Amino acid sequence: MRKTDPFKLLKLIYTCGPLSRTDLAQRAGIAPSYVSAIVFQARANGLILEQGFVPSSGGRRRILLGMNPGLAKLIGIDIGRWHIGIVVTDFVGKILDYESLPSETSKGKDHLLHVVHDSLKRLLAQHPAVRAIGISSSGVIDQQAGKVLFWPQVSGWEGIPLKEIFEEKYTLPVVVDDTVHALATMEQRFGHGKDMRNFIFISIGVGIGSAIFVDGHLYTGRDGLAGELGHVTVEENGKLCSCGNRGCLELYSSASAIIRRVREELQLGVTSSLTDAVGGNLDQLSVEKIAAAAQAHDRLSERVLSEAGRYLGVALASVVNLLNPERIVLQGKVPQAAQELLLGSLLYNLRHRALAQSIKGMDVVVSQFGEEKAAVGAVFTAGEEVLQTRCREMEGKLSPSTEGLSLAQDADGKEANLQSSET
What does the binding site for Zn ion look like in residue numbers (CB under 5 A)?
A: 231, 241, 243, 245, 248
Alpha-carbon distances, residue 214 vs 123, 177, 196, 201, 369 (angstroms): 36, 18, 9, 11, 21
> What b/e string do you get for 185-196 counting C-beta neighbours within 10 Å, with b at 16 or more?
bbbbbebbbeeb
Name which of 240 and 355 has its Cβ closer to Zn ion. 240
Q: Which C-beta is closer to Zn ion: that of 242 or that of 421?
A: 242
Tell me the Cα Rg of the chain: 24
- Nearest approach in angstroms of CB 140 to Zn ion is 10
Contact of 116 with 94, CB cutoff 8 Å: no
Least distance CB 319 / Zn ion (angstroms): 16
State which H helix or E strand residue 50 sits in.
strand 48-53
The residue (of 230 and 309) whose beta carbon lies closer to Zn ion is 230
- Distance CA(29)–CA(3), nearest Å, equals 8
Per the CB < 8 A criterion, the answer to whether 419 and 35 are in contact is: no
For the chain, the distance separating the N- and C-terminal CA atoms, rounded to the nearest angstrom, is: 16
Q: How far is the CB of 208 from Zn ion (least distance, A)?
A: 10
CA nearest to 341, candidates 299, 371, 369, 370: 299
Grouping H, G, I as helix, E, B as strand and the rest as coil, residue 171 is: coil
Identify which of residues 81 and 192 has a Cβ nearer to Zn ion in the complex: 81
Smallest distance from Zn ion to CB 239, Å: 10
Give the nearer residue to Zn ion in terms of CB position, either 248 or 329.
248
Tell me whether residue 240 or residue 296 sits nearer to Zn ion (CB atom): 240
- DSSP label of 411: S
- Rounded to the nearest whole angstrom, what is the least distance from the CB of residue 162 to Zn ion in the complex? 23
Q: How far is the CB of 131 from Zn ion (least distance, A)?
A: 38
Helix (H, G, I), strand (E, B) or coil at 177: strand
In whole angstroms, how far apart are CA 348 and each of 66, 329, 331?
42, 17, 19
Nearer to Zn ion, 231 or 261 (CB): 231
**Smallest distance, Zn ion to C-beta of residue 245, A:** 5
Smallest gap from Cβ 258 to Zn ion, in A, equals 16
Q: Using CA atoms, how far apart are residues 249 and 137, in angstroms rounded to an integer?
A: 20
31 vs 243, which CB is nearer to Zn ion?
243
Spatial neighbors of 248 by CB under 8 A, at least 6 apart, are 230, 231, 232, 233, 234, 238, 241
